[in-house]
Amino acid sequence: MVSQQDVAGPARAGAARHPLDPLSTDEISQAVAIFRADGRARPAMRFVSVSLHEPPKDELASIRPGQPFRREAFIVALEPREHMTYEAIVSVTAGSVLSWECERLVRADPRFRAGLRRRGIDQPDQVLVESWGIGTFGRDEDEGRRLIWTLCFYRASPDDNPYAKPIHGLHAVVDLDDMAVVRVEDLGVVPLPLGTGDYTAGRTAPRSGLKPIEIRQPAGVSFEVDGWEVRWQNWRFRLGFNGREGLVLHTIGYADNGRLRPVIHRASVAELLIPYSDPRPFQGWRNAFDIGEYGIGILTNSLELGCDCLGEIRYFDVELADGEGKPYTIKNAICLHEEDHGIGWKHFDADLQRAEVRRRRRLVASFIITAGNYEYAFYWCFYTDGAIELEVRLTGIVLTAALGPGETSDYGTVVAPQTLAAYHQHFFCVRLDMTVDGASNSVYEVETEPAPAGPGNPYRNAFRTRRTLLQTESQAQRLINPLAARNWLVVNPNVANALGQQVGYQLVPHGNVLPFAHEEASVIQRAAFITRHLWVTPFAAAERFPAGEYPNQHPGGAGLPEWTKADRPIENTDIVLWYTLGSHHIPRPEDWPVMPVERVSLTLRPFGFFDANPALDVPPTHGGGAGGGDG
């Protein structure tokens, strides 16, 4: 086991400036070189990931500015010939190189080519071969092998939308260690749909009348960036990035009267699961763990000014390692900018005939990924009133399957002739390592209930809140309940505000959903975390991913269900909140050929963290300069 190496030793000039900085190109190269030089490494090894091994919290707390610090890389590597993996169970995603080889391999297979010919396709190069994790569906012959299966689409011409032409019923199963096509299954021919699914510019006459909107900040931006640290309007946090989770936020704090008060130690989206509804052979295997199997950091786009992001933008490049362990850069991977967000607060005093109004602003750190057909845009937003929001926007192309002429399905929407977009869901598991005014936190479930009728409630109008302390892990596996206005309050029971109340941050759920797959379905076994909206665990450094480290082909039970069996106490201690945000997708014809953005979100807002409205001191604006400090 050679999974961790001390890479750089004490910090040197040009190296990382902070222990939480993502690995630089040099550090990735060094880590891989050290790893390769180890006697246990094999020449044919492939690298799944080389990322920062984040320092433990106590060590982080003890590092003084200017002091040297350790730098460690976390490496996951595979040895295909010996079927050796450097972790117990390894994801099928061995980086871009493997999936590319897999696509070529499938295209070259004579059984696959014969299947294409039966469908009138003579150009295998024009077939898009998508690799999907095979999951666990009880086939004995699959035991102990690293397998993927394929879904195929056809591009009639090079710039076509391939998802408009799903190739029905032809699937290959590939062994990633042997790099061999294990079998090709042909479930019968359905003709390719005729539509093109074209959504590109130049073929539709653009609508007229849209005049330019310009976002200008003539005096510059209001945030400061120092390395990976960001400061803006009392907020202070660090950006991080890795191949699996993409953007990570570290040490989020708020400067309050000269005192930096911690709120969240680490925040990331730790898993993204898309279960599909189509029950047909192969289609019923479609469950993508986009983080655990593929890695949303690896899938991150290079963003473009004026298109992805508008206004005064600060971009961050990120460094990752490819399958050979060679570092590469994703330019403009993270976007940082501020936005006017409408009014922040207002009151018009009728007697005085005077209005007090302040604008609301937010600072947004974002990244966008492409996972095959889909795009996900992740926005972490910090507001002038102390709120934090994660907003996810979903767009891209819905996954399609072909239908026979006149055929419909109970499990999807016909979005174009003979083109079925299957019902599905997207579950984002947000991991929040809380530290509200210090590491020792507790969680209350807060609901509102009617007060009982009686002498204390003579007009029957009274309602009150009920707080339930969640004391152990089993008590903290919860669902949303909007009709009871249910939310969760993370408090520091050891710190009081000026009113004598425990300081806290409130997790406010918005729209959400549960899975519809049966409990015994493979996807629920493997991803039990989606059966509860909230889980709370005591902090443990090794507990990072809700479906376990390597969900692919894992029979299930790993991650949250396994850890929480111990039913550990979660009161007045260092805790982690796991909130799963579901987007329910019954495709509409309007989602074709490319889908208008759908958005889901989660809000954390101060509840007694401050003594009063923290945005009282936002200066007023006068005409014109929307949100401008002195416009």
Sites of contact with Cu ion (CB under 5 A) = 585
* Cα–Cα dist 218/221, whole Å: 8
CA-CA-CA-CA torsion for 346, 351, 353, 354, nearest 10 degrees?
-40
Among 154, 254, 374, 383, the active-site one is 374
Half-sphere exposure of 228 (CA within 13 A, CB side): 23
**Looking at beta carbons only, is 29 or 277 nearer to Cu ion?**
277
Residue placing its CB nearer to Cu ion in the complex, 51 or 161: 161
User: Cβ 198 to Cu ion, closest distance in Å?
Assistant: 20
* Alpha-carbon span 139 to 170, nearest angstrom: 19
Residue 600 CB, nearest distance to Cu ion (Å)? 11
Shortest Cβ 624–Cu ion spacing (Å): 41
What are the φ/ψ torsions at residue 158 (nearest 5 degrees)? Answer: -55, -30
Catalytic (active site) residue 254: no
DSSP track, 561-585 = HHHGGG--B-SSB-EEEEEEEEEEE
Least distance between Cu ion and beta carbon 598 (Å) = 7
What φ, ψ does residue 23 adopt, rounded to 5°?
A: -65, 140
Report in angstroms how near the CB of residue 398 gets to Cu ion at its nearest: 6
CB of 424 to Cu ion, least distance (A): 5
Cβ-based nearer residue to Cu ion, 417 or 596:
596
Residue 333 tokens read as 């991977």
Nearer to Cu ion, 349 or 410 (CB): 410
Rounded Cα gap, residues 170 and 127, in angstroms: 12
CB-CB neighbours of 557 under 10 Å: 14
Residue 39, Cβ neighbours under 10 Å: how many? 5
The answer to whether residue 290 is catalytic is yes
Question: 193 or 582: whose CB is closer to Cu ion?
Answer: 582
Q: Report whether 256 contacts 263 (CB < 8 A).
A: no
- Count of beta carbons in the 10 Å neighbourhood of residue 182: 15
Least distance (Å) from Cu ion to the CB of residue 521? 19
How far apart are CB 4 and Cu ion at their closest, in Å? 37
As separate numbers, helices (DSSP H) first and strands (DSSP E) second, the chain gives 6, 30
Is residue 69 a contact partner of residue 296, using CB atoms and an 8 Å limit? no
Please, which residue, 393 or 585, has the CB nearer to Cu ion? 585
Nearer residue to Cu ion within complex by CB, 288 or 476: 288
d(CA 394, CA 396): 7
Residue 119, token pair as written in the block: 């469908």
How far is residue 527's CA from residue 545's CA, in Å, rounded to a whole number?
11
Whole-number Cα distances in Å, 552 to 90, 245, 287, 540? 7, 16, 10, 23
Q: Are 209 and 232 in contact (CB under 8 A)?
A: no
**Which residue's structure tokens are 């409205």?**
613
The position carrying tokens 């042997």 is 178
Pick 520 or 590: Cβ nearer Cu ion? 590
> Which residues have a catalytic role annotated?
290, 374
